Amino acid sequence: MFESIPNNVNLESNPKLQRALLKWQPDFLAWWKEVGPEGFQQDQIYLRTAIGVGQGGWAHWDYVKMPDYRWGIFLANPRKADTIYFGDHIGEKLWDQVPGEFRKELRRLIVTQGDTEPASVEQQRLLGKTAPSLLDLRALLQVNVEEARHLWAMVYLLHSYFGADGRDEAEQMLERRSGHADHPRILAAFNMPIRDWLAFFCFTTFTDRDGKFQLASLAESAFDPLARSTQFMLMEEAFHMATGEGGVARTVRRTAELMKQGVDPRTVGAIPLEIVQKYINEWSSASNDLFGGEDSTNAANYFAGGLKGRFNENDPGKYSDHSALEGMYEAKVFQDGKWETKNIPLRRAMNSVLLDSYHDECARIVERWNSVLEEVGVPERLSLPSLRFNRHVGLYGGHAYDPAGEPLDPAAWQAKRGQWLPSPGDYEYVRECMVPVYEPGKVANWIAPHAKGVGGKPVDFPYVQFH
Residues near Fe ion (CB under 5 A) are: 117, 147, 150, 208, 211, 237, 240
**Least Cβ distance, residue 173 to Fe ion (angstroms):** 13
* Residue ranges in 176-195 that form contacts with ligand BYC under rule CB under 6 A: 187-188
- 196 binds ligand BYC, rule: CB under 6 A: no
Report the relative pairing of strands 338-345 and 328-335 from DSSP bridges: antiparallel
**In whole angstroms, what is the distance from residue 99 CA to residue 120 CA?**
31
Q: Least distance from C-beta 386 to Fe ion, angstroms?
A: 25
Our finding on whether 113 is near ligand BYC (CB under 6 A) is yes
Nearer to Fe ion by Cβ, of 220 and 426: the residue is 220
Gap between the Cα atoms of 243 and 249, Å rounded: 10
Cβ distance to Fe ion smaller for residue 51 or 242: 242
Q: Between residue 270 and residue 329, which ones bind ligand BYC under the rule CB under 6 A?
A: 289-293, 296, 298-299, 308
Distance CA 105, CA 345 (A): 21
Residue closest to 115 by CA, chosen among 75, 166, 155? 155
Q: Choose from Fe ion, ligand BYC, none: what does 142 bind? Cβ within 5-8 Å by kind.
A: none
Which of ligand BYC, Fe ion, none lies near 188, with the C-beta cut-off 5 to 8 A by kind? Answer: ligand BYC
Asked whether position 214 contacts ligand BYC by CB under 6 A, the answer is yes
How many residues lie near ligand BYC (CB under 6 A)?
Answer: 25
- Nearest distance from residue 11's CB to ligand BYC, in Å? 24
Decide: is 49 part of the binding site for ligand BYC (CB under 6 A): no
Q: Which of 109, 139, 365, 395 binds ligand BYC (CB under 6 A)?
A: 109
Question: What does the alpha-carbon distance between residue 202 and residue 246 come to, in Å, rounded to a whole number?
Answer: 10
Q: Which is nearer to ligand BYC, 354 or 437 (CB)?
A: 354
Q: Is 452 exposed, middle or buried (0-12, 13-18, 19+ CB in 10 A)?
A: exposed
- 409 exposure class (CB count in 10 Å sphere: 0-12, 13-18, 19+): exposed
Q: Residue 90 in contact with residue 323, Cβ under 8 Å?
A: yes
**Which lies closer to ligand BYC via its Cβ, residue 208 or residue 224?**
208
Which positions from 216 to 235 touch ligand BYC by CB under 6 A, shown as an x/- string? --------------------
Stated as kind and residue range, the H or E segment containing 61 is: strand 59-65
Structural Rg of the chain based on CA atoms? 22
375-394: which residues touch ligand BYC (CB under 6 A)?
Answer: 393
433 binds ligand BYC (CB under 6 A): no
Pick from Fe ion, ligand BYC, none: which does 109 bind, CB < 5 to 8 A by kind? ligand BYC
| Pick 210 or 245: Cβ nearer ligand BYC | 210
Q: Which long-range contacts (CB under 8 A, 24 or more apart) does 42-46 make?
A: 42/467, 43/464, 43/465, 43/466, 43/467, 44/464, 44/465, 44/467, 45/138, 45/141, 45/142, 45/463, 45/464, 46/138, 46/455, 46/457, 46/461, 46/462, 46/463, 46/464
Backbone φ, ψ for residue 259 (5° rounding)? -60, -40
| Residue 125: CA count within 13 A, CB half-sphere | 22
CB-wise, 28 or 291, nearer to ligand BYC?
Answer: 291
Contacts with ligand BYC, residue ranges (CB under 6 A): 109, 112-113, 116-117, 120, 147, 187-188, 207-208, 210-211, 214, 289-293, 296, 298-299, 308, 351, 393
